[in-house]
Amino acid sequence: MKISEILRIIDGTVCTEGDPQEIEIRGGCGADLMSDVLTTIQPQAILLTGLVNPQVVRTAHMADVSAIVFVRGKCPHPETVDLANQEGIPIISTPLGMFEVCGRLFSAGLPSLENELNLSI
C-alpha cells in the first residue's frame, strides 16, 4: 500500500521534508515501547506510535521502518523531525487514536508486520 493511500485512510499529514506519497509500505506495527518495536517489527513497515521523541526515529532506523505515524494528533518534537529528515524517514501525524488507525489500515488490507514471539530463550 502506498503512503498516499495511507494518508487518505487515516486523515494524515506529513510532518517531514519531501513527498513520501509513492513509498510502498508492506504492513504495519503499533507500539509505544521501543524495545517491543525492535523485538517484533519486520522491515519496511509503517510504525504507529504515541511516542514522539527522537528515539522513535532511532528505533525506526535500526529496524528498517519505512515511515512513522504519530497517533492521537501528537505533534513531534522539532528534534524528532530534524532527525527524521536526516535519516530520510517520513513522519505522518493523524488526529485518530491508535485503535482507530490500526483498525482502518488493517480493514483496508494493510497486513500486520508484527512477529509473534516465542518468549522462552
Partner 1 sequence: MDFSSQSVDAIEAAAGKISRVEELVYVLRVSEVMTRDIKVLSPSMSMSIVLELLRQEHISGAPVILNADLIGVVSLEDLIRALLVNDLDAPVGKYMTTKIITARASDPVVEALKVFTKNNIGRLPVVDEYGKLVGIITKGDVTLGILNALQKDFQREEVRRYRASHLFEDIVSDRSSLILRYNIKKDDFTRGGNASSNIKRALVRLGANHQIARRCGIAIYEAEMNLIIHTTKGGIIRVEIEPHKITMRAVDEGPGIVDIELAKQAGYSTATDEVREKGFGAGMGLFNINRCVDKMTLESEPGKGTRLEMKIYLQPEESVGETGYHFGENSK
**Residue ranges that bind partner 1, judged by CB under 8 A:** 1, 32-36, 38-39, 42-43, 49, 51, 53-56, 58-59, 61-64, 79, 87, 108-109, 115, 117, 119, 121
Write down the least CB distance from residue 61 to partner 1, Å. Answer: 6
CA 54 to chain centroid, in Å, comes to 13
Shortest CB 60 distance to partner 1, Å: 10
Min dist CB 109 to partner 1, Å, is 4
Task: Give 54 or 95: the residue with its C-beta nearer to partner 1.
Answer: 54
Q: How far is the CB of 28 from partner 1 (least distance, A)?
A: 14
Return all residues near 32 (Cβ < 8 A) that are at least 6 apart: 49, 50, 51
User: Which residues in 1-121 belong to E strands, given as ranges?
Assistant: 13-14, 27-30, 45-49, 67-70, 91-93
Return the number of the residue (16 or 49) whose C-beta is nearest partner 1.
Answer: 49
Using the minimum distance from each CB to partner 1, give the nearer residue, 13 or 53.
Answer: 53
Question: Contact 12/94 with Cβ under 8 angstroms?
Answer: yes
- Separation CA 57–CA 46 (nearest Å): 12
Which phi and psi (to 5°) does residue 63 adopt? -95, 15
9 close to 29: Cβ distance less than 8 angstroms: no
Q: Which is nearer to partner 1, 26 or 95 (CB)?
A: 26
